[in-house]
Structure 1
Amino acid sequence: MERKAVLAQMIRVGIVGGTGKLGRDIAGLLLQREDMTPGAVIGRSGSPWIGQDLGAVTGGNETGLRITGDLLATKEDCDVYIDCTHAKALMEENFHAYALLHKPVIVATTGFGAEDVERLAGLSQSMPVAICPNFSIGVYKFLKLVRLAAEEFGKHADIDISEIHHKFKKDQPSGTAKKIRETILQTGVESPVHMHSIRAGHVIGEHSVLFTTPENERIELSHKVYSREGFAQGVFTVIQWISQRPAGLYGLEDIFG
């Protein structure tokens, strides 16, 4: 079967920021699927990867797919986009392109301010937009446990969130840590929620929540990722889910709930 015929049966994913660490990992995972595939890989303007085969960045065989720096030119090649860049690049460089492409967008980066979220909400009025600071299905279940612990112990406890990531991660606290804080605050706790960030080595991602009570007891919940393959099923689930949804702004609770 010709490549075009094969692609017609698959969800074609445009990976924006596809030459970065997360983008490379997602591209490599998609190349192993039979129901979805990289439709385009977009690198930043001026990147030395532009024009090279995708296999050069994934460390695999040649794929026949060349990395491009022109996001708008990929419209006919993609059904869904996943943005793995960073908040500034998405809002200043990619945002207007997504409005013109009019395809589902998965936001896989963090560091957005309130105004940025408002703009994404505006974008979602005409297309589905999913904000996913973490692709781990386990994180969503972890948030459920955090909510329960906050309801049981949060009223009078000291509350601390700690997160550890690799030294190359720029934003801190992480988007997941912010989501944990948001989850705790939604329970109506009155105590301040403190966040602590560490950037070291090649740690993929660890998040812990500590509730220290006036009775000198400590309840601690933790979620740790030991391999990026742990994100794989979450990535596939989000891609399949968003490709079938109407316009709207979605989050982890919508997708994994």
Structure 2
Amino acid sequence: MDITITGASGRMGQMLVRQIAKSPGAKLAAAVEAPGGKALSRDAGEVAGLEALGVKITDDTASAIAAAQVVIDFTVPEATVAHAEIAAAKGVAMVIGTTGLAPDQAKRIEVAAQSVPIVWAANMSLGVNVLMALVERTAALLDPDYDIDVLEMHHRHKIDAPSGTALALGHAAAAGRQVQLEAVWRKTRDGHTGARPVGEIGFATLRGGDEVGFHTVMYAGIGERLELTHRAFSREIYANGALKAAQWVVTRKPGLYTMKDVLGLAG
């Protein structure tokens, strides 16, 4: 399977290059960096701490995507949307792990998925996706008097908050209660906020150090509290999940899929 990695010199990009290099049946077809990037023209393997792989990092995105069967993208929203539109035009499947997309950007991803199969997930981890299924089921089992909060922490360099995974967990909890998250969420609390309304789903965000990813969903009732927690210790779990998604998506019809589909958790 020929794979193109966008954002190849970033933390996730380098991890993906390393995982592809040691995965039987996977081949790095091309590696992309934004124009002006310091890693341009360098060997993607060397940038990732490996021996040379014979693949130079390029800013010719269209040619790089066209060289692959699937492109894996962990970049920034503006770039991800552009890459998805190129992939759709070239007939190349895609795996997206970028978070923080605005509604209009998300719509453009949906349009691209009408032409090619795309797996788009806030988190590629097997454990996190099992957690999402548990969060939805637990929210359905407990009555609305249980207050739900999503606590998350990431490294100091993360640019969006709450994290895409935290929002996905919030959506899972809302689905369990059969409500729209946007109708009941509270993303921040500051000052005199008043008593908490029944049914609210809250978020708390922490940033610091080199935390890879920590998420806890709390169900606080009178006299008890239930907590469901996942902690990531290495980005390797995301890279492994992305490669699993890439292997799965290349055989699918055009459409927008999630890791639930990849892992057989849908429904």
Name the counterpart of 2:183.
none
Secondary structure at the counterpart of residue 122 of structure 1: helix
Secondary structure at the counterpart of residue 35 of structure 2: coil
The one of 191, 200, 223 aligned to 2:199: 191
Query: Which one-letter code corresponds to 1:206 in the other structure?
Result: F
Aligned equivalents of 1:233 and 1:86: distance in 2?
A: 20
8 Å CA contact retained: 2:9, 2:33: yes
Is the alpha carbon distance of 1:180 and 1:76 closer, same or farther for their aligned partners in structure 2, counting shifts above 3 Å? closer
1:212 and 2:220 correspond: yes
Residue 137 of structure 1, CA deviation? 0.6
1:229 and 2:229 correspond: no
8 Å CA contact retained: 2:65, 2:87: no
Is the alpha carbon distance of 1:172 and 1:141 closer, same or farther for their aligned partners in structure 2, counting shifts above 3 Å? same
1:16 and 2:24 correspond: no
The one of 117, 123, 143 aligned to 1:128: 117
Matches within 5 A, 1:1-257: 11-91=1-81, 93-187=82-176, 188=178, 191-213=199-221, 215-256=222-263, 257=265
8 Å CA contact retained: 2:41, 2:57: yes
Is the alpha carbon distance of 1:238 and 1:154 closer, same or farther for their aligned partners in structure 2, counting shifts above 3 Å? farther
8 Å CA contact retained: 1:40, 1:74: yes
What's the RMSD between the two structures over aligned residues? Answer: 1.5
Aligned-pair identity (%):
29
Aligned equivalents of 1:232 and 1:73: distance in 2?
A: 23
Which TM-score applies when normalising by structure 2?
0.87
Q: Any gaps of 5 or more consecutive residues in structure 2?
A: 180-197
Which TM-score applies when normalising by structure 1?
0.91
Residue 152 of structure 1, CA deviation? 1.9
Is the alpha carbon distance of 1:133 and 1:142 closer, same or farther for their aligned partners in structure 2, counting shifts above 3 Å? same
Residue 186 of structure 1, CA deviation? 1.0
8 Å CA contact retained: 2:17, 2:45: no
Aligned equivalents of 1:46 and 1:152: distance in 2?
A: 52
Aligned equivalents of 1:66 and 1:192: distance in 2?
A: 50
Q: Any gaps of 5 or more consecutive residues in structure 1?
A: 1-10
Name the counterpart of 1:3.
none
Aligned equivalents of 1:154 and 1:243: distance in 2?
A: 41
Aligned equivalents of 1:224 and 1:250: distance in 2?
A: 24
Residue 75 of structure 1, CA deviation? 4.3
Residue 229 of structure 1, CA deviation? 2.6
Is the alpha carbon distance of 1:173 and 1:127 closer, same or farther for their aligned partners in structure 2, counting shifts above 3 Å? same
Secondary structure at the counterpart of residue 171 of structure 2: helix
* Count of residue correspondences: 245
Residue 12 of structure 1, CA deviation? 0.8
Aligned equivalents of 2:240 and 2:54: distance in 1?
A: 25
